[in-house]
């Protein structure tokens, strides 16, 4: 071996790794080459460790992030030889762009490439902190730049097509989820963590008549800025059409508590993408529903004054300037007052969408 090359044995953790492996580190000016034969085992160990502190849905998202890399690791062993290096990682990105296909048969987006490189960096940093790797090698993984995507604002007619796109046994759930997103403006992460027991309807859950008021509100515990759900959360209201679809979903599923839709953020994304593909629309992100609500609300309340804008920020979780909050006596703990504001000003694109209720298990008056 070259005298300038130093071999360092990685600490062996019996419950995860049954045999030692070696990291070969060249001088600082040269490239590090890592014997990473047991990398998939370390990745599983990372999932196991994080599973003690984060939700199952979050772990599912982590696994989805790593799916392209693990597929490359399995299929291209003759290329990487079980070793990590900057060159090998560049080969991975080239393979990912040219050969990898997601569940829709499409090449990965720049967002997906950024997620996988970000997650791999996180795992390698964790492995170093745990003592599985004696040196920090995570910086070998260059974060892929995500330039973002052009924002798409669906029209009322396009929203109507999306709502009627779902087919099959989950059509009620999928339509309810999209209607809920349109009416509340909730973020994808917030919808994934929404819980049935935090829902309140104007009429009983058993009432599925199209002639009744099914509007209501939900307390979103896990929100942007509070992913632990230990804070006050945020109230968000919805109209009767979204409410009736959510009722229909809950009555058909039989669920009385727990996750509102039983989906993580990846599952929510898949529903929206499936619907947009069926409607031959651009590859939509769930955030498009949030944008549609905000645009519609602003248009409807152009002449309503400052309180309508404040109510919108309260509804979707946008920050309110402290001076504005003070001047308007906004106390986030006063949920009764905030709920009155939201109910007074709430509006959504669903007001202009006719829903074909025959497709859903609701009661239609003769």
Structure tokens at 350: 């669903």
Give the relative orientation of helices 39-50 and 110-130 as an angle to the nearest 10 degrees. Answer: 90
Q: Which residue has the higher pLDDT, 7 or 277?
A: 277
Q: Would you say 282 and 106 are in contact if contact means Cβ atoms under 8 Å apart? A: no
Domain ranges of the chain: 6-140, 156-359
* Mean pLDDT of all residues in 243-266: 95
**Lowest mean pLDDT, pick from 26-40, 140-154, 223-237, 289-303:** 26-40
Q: How many CB atoms lie within 10 A of CB 272?
A: 24
pLDDT at 55: 74
Dump pLDDT digits (tens) for 163-199: 999 999 999 999 999 999 999 999 999 999 999 999 9
Q: CATH number for 156-359: choose from 1.20.120, 3.40.50, 1.10.1200, 1.10.443.
A: 1.10.443
Integer Cα distance of 176 and 117 in angstroms: 34
Is residue 23 very low, low, confident or very high in pLDDT (cuts 50, 70, 90)?
very low
* Token couple for 19: 């045999």
Residue 215: Cβ-neighbour burial (10 angstroms; 0-12, 13-18, 19+) = buried
- Please tell me the distance from the alpha carbon of residue 233 to that of residue 229, in angstroms, as a whole number: 7
pTM of model > 0.75:
no
pLDDT band at 12 (very low <50, low <70, confident <90, very high): very low
With a cut of 50, say whether residue 21 has pLDDT above it: no
Contact 50, 59 (CB under 8 A): yes
- At residue 132 the predicted structure's pLDDT band, cuts being 50, 70 and 90, is confident
How many Cβ atoms sit within 10 Å of the Cβ of residue 265? Answer: 20
* 81-104 residue pLDDT tens: 888 888 888 899 999 999 998 876
φ, ψ of residue 38 to 5 degrees: the values are -100, 20
DSSP label of 231: S
């Amino acid at each position: 071996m070259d005298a300038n090359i130093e071999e360092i044995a990685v600490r062996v953790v019996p419950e995860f790794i049954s045999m030692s492996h070696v990291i070969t580190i060249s001088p600082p000016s040269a490239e590090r080459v890592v014997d990473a034969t047991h990398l998939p085992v370390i990745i599983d160990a990372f999932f196991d460790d994080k599973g003690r502190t984060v939700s199952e849905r979050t772990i599912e998202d982590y696994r989805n992030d790593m799916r392209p890399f693990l597929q490359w690791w399995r299929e291209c062993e003759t290329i990487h030889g079980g070793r990590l290096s900057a060159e090998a990682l560049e080969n991975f990105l080239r393979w990912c762009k040219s050969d990898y296909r997601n569940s829709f048969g499409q090449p990965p987006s720049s967002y997906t490439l950024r997620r996988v490189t970000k997650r791999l960096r996180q795992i390698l940093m964790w492995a170093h902190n745990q003592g599985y790797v004696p040196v920090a090698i995570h910086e070998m993984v260059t974060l892929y730049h995500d330039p973002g995507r052009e924002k798409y604002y669906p029209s009322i007619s396009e929203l109507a097509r999306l709502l009627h796109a779902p087919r099959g046994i989950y059509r009620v759930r999928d339509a309810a989820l999209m209607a809920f997103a349109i009416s509340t403006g909730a973020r994808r992460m917030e919808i994934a963590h929404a819980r049935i027991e935090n829902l309140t309807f104007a009429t009983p859950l058993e009432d599925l008549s199209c002639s009744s008021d099914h509007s209501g509100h939900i307390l979103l515990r896990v929100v942007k800025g509070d992913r632990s759900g230990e804070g006050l959360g945020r109230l968000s209201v919805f109209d009767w059409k979204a409410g009736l679809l959510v009722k229909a979903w809950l009555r058909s599923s039989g669920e009385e508590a727990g996750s509102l839709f039983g989906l993580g953020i990846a599952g929510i994304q898949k529903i929206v993408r499936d619907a947009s593909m069926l409607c031959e629309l651009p590859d939509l992100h769930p955030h498009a529903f949030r944008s549609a609500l905000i645009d519609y609300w602003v248009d409807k309340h152009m002449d309503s004054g400052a309180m309508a804008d404040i109510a919108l920020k309260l509804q979707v979780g946008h920050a309110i300037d402290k001076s504005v909050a003070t001047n308007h006596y906004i106390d986030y703990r006063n949920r009764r007052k905030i709920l009155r504001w939201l109910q007074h000003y709430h509006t959504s694109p669903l007001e202009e969408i006719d829903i074909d209720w025959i497709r859903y298990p609701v009661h239609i008056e003769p």
